[in-house]
């Protein structure tokens, strides 16, 4: 019976050791030994041990109980450590996935700090990068954290974290390295994180910073290449568009100096010179308008105006380009609208010129104006080949010329871009679409007061 009781006490101790802290298990072990001695070993009711063999039983029960308690505590500690390690690895994986989404250098450092603070539940996290003798710091987290440049410089030049955490704020400073090269410092504050995990976080942050810088450099290089391509395209287009009218003017002027032309031929040559001068004037106006749009120097001046006035002004400004073309204009209402007629007419003139350029020579150009409570809408429809689907998304890009104009040498690809820029000043929009029965339609939509 004594052996059975001892085993019962041992089972209780093992159960307590498996479910409670070590100090509870040790206390339970001593309590079990005392209870076993007091209630089951003769003389019962006392703590005296009469039989020497009972001393061995008590000692064995105590040793087994303490050993089981210790082993259980070690197992629980290792299990807890494994769970904590698995949790840190999960957080680190999530952080790596987060920083892969960073594609711009502009907000990269703040995003990295924000991801670190969120994933590891820190009070604060800061990415600190040296800029000459100064430091640029991006801080994220619920609790603001101040960093001392002297501390940052010490950690950066030492490239090792041999400081003890700040007891008040639990701050840690970890160098950010790419290989053996330090590029900055990671500062964290809040809950305790082991050093290996912090090193891994710093490594991920350093790679993310380097990747964001690489993407930014590549984007700058792409923009530089595109800029060079645009400059080349612009120079080629300008060279041709300048050469053609200048050559025509030179030939016409030479013919006027000759003795053979009669009066009608001289008038014809004079008209040719005027047409080419108008063409050059429009080209230079386009260049100036593009420069003004880029500089933000286009101002809006609104007034009450009839839509027919806007169409008339636009038609008058590009009259030479519309020779031989008929304009079929329809208006659903004669109400007045309050907008900037100069900007709207300038945008419409580019659409009329574009329709005349790409439509058949004797085909009409349809202009439809409609007024709603929202504002004014003007549609210009031609009967040309339309816009190829690959070009629809690019027709408003400056200097862009689609596949259907490869055989057309005139034009610089600025007209539609200028039209959209002019309308943007008055918060208007410009759309392009192909018509089901052929040709293209460009629609101006300008918000305006109506009366």
Three-state secondary structure readout of 329-372: EEECCCCCEEECHHHHHHHHHHHHHHHHHHCCCCCCEEEEEEEC
Which residue, among 324, 448, 274, 439, has the nearest Cα to 378 in the 3D structure? 448
Query: What value does the mean pLDDT take over residues 206-230?
Result: 78
Architecture of the CATH domain 105-220: 2-Layer Sandwich (3.30)
Output the six-digit token pair for 248: 């025509």
Backbone angles phi, psi at 449, to 5 degrees: -75, 145
List strand residue ranges (DSSP E) for 84-133, in order.
124-131
Cβ pair 382, 326 in contact under 8 A: no
Global pTM reads 0.48
Q: What is the largest CA-CA distance in the chain?
A: 152
Asked: is 294-450 a CATH 3.20.20.80 domain? The reply is no
DSSP type of residue 236:
H
Look at the block and give the residue holding tokens 């007061």: 449
Give the C-alpha separation, 184 to 102, whole Å: 18
Asked: is 222-291 a CATH 1.10.287.130 domain? The reply is yes
412-448 pLDDT tens trace: 667 888 889 889 999 999 999 999 888 999 999 999 9
Query: Residue 169 above 50 pLDDT?
Result: no
Q: Do domains 222-291 and 294-450 have the same CATH topology?
A: no
Which residue, among 375, 357, 351, has the nearest Cα to 428 in the 3D structure? 375
Backbone angles phi, psi at 363, to 5 degrees: -85, 145
Output the six-digit token pair for 407: 């055989």
* Bridge partners for 185 per DSSP: 128, 175
Look at the block and give the residue holding tokens 């300038």: 346
Query: Residue 409 above 50 pLDDT?
Result: no
Name the residue with higher pLDDT: 403 or 12.
12
CB atoms within 10 A of CB 54: 17
99-121 pLDDT tens trace: 777 656 667 888 888 888 888 88
Residue 9: what pLDDT?
Answer: 64
Look at the block and give the residue holding tokens 């390295």: 177
Q: Which residues contact residue 246 at a Cβ distance below 8 angstroms, ignoring those fewer than 6 apart?
A: 276, 280
Angle between helices 108-119 and 195-257 (to 10 degrees): 150
Give the C-alpha separation, 279 to 19, whole Å: 93
Spans of all domains in the chain: 2-93, 105-220, 222-291, 294-450
* Length, in residues, of the chain: 451
274-310 pLDDT tens trace: 888 887 887 777 777 777 777 777 888 899 999 999 9
């Amino acid at each position: 019976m004594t052996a059975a009781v001892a085993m019962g006490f041992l089972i209780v101790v093992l159960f307590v050791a498996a479910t409670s802290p070590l100090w509870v298990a040790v206390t339970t072990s001593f309590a079990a030994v005392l209870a076993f001695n007091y209630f089951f070993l003769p003389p019962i009711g006392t703590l005296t041990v009469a039989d020497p063999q009972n001393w061995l039983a008590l000692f064995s029960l105590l040793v087994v109980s303490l050993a089981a308690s210790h082993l259980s505590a070690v197992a629980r500690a290792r299990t807890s450590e494994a769970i904590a390690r698995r949790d840190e690895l999960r957080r680190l994986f999530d952080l790596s996935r987060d920083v892969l989404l960073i594609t711009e250098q502009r907000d990269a450092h703040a995003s990295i700090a924000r991801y670190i603070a969120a994933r590891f539940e820190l009070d604060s996290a800061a990415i600190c990068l040296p800029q000459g003798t100064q430091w640029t710091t991006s801080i994220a987290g619920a609790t603001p954290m101040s960093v001392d440049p002297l501390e940052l410089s010490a950690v950066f030049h030492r490239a090792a974290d041999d400081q003890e955490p700040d007891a008040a704020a639990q701050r840690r400073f970890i160098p950010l390295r790419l290989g053996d090269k330090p590029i900055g410092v990671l500062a964290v504050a809040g809950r305790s994180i082991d050093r290996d995990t912090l090193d891994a976080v710093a490594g991920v942050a350093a790679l993310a910073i380097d990747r964001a810088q690489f993407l930014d450099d590549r984007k700058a290089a792409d923009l530089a290449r595109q800029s060079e391509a645009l400059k080349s395209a612009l120079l080629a287009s300008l060279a041709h568009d300048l050469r053609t009218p200048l050559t025509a003017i030179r030939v016409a002027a030479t013919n006027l100096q000759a003795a053979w032309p009669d009066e009608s031929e001289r008038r014809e040559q004079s008209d040719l010179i005027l047409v080419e001068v108008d063409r050059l004037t429009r080209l230079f106006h386009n260049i100036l308008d593009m420069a003004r749009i880029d500089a933000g120097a286009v101002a809006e001046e609104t007034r009450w105006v009839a839509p027919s006035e806007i169409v008339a002004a636009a038609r008058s400004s590009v009259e030479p380009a519309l020779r031989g073309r008929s304009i079929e204009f329809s208006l659903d209402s004669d109400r007045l609208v309050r907008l900037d007629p100069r900007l709207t007419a300038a945008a419409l003139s580019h659409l009329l010129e574009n329709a005349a350029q790409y439509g058949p020579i004797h085909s009409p150009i349809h202009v439809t104006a409609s007024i709603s409570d929202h504002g004014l809408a003007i549609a210009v429809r031609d009967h040309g080949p339309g816009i190829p689907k690959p070009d629809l998304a690019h027709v408003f890009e400056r200097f862009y010329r689609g596949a259907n104009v490869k055989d057309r040498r005139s034009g610089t690809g600025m007209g539609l871009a200028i039209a959209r820029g002019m309308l943007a000043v008055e918060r208007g929009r410009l759309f392009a679409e192909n018509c089901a029965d052929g040709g293209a339609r460009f629609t101006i939509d300008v918000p305006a007061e109506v009366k």
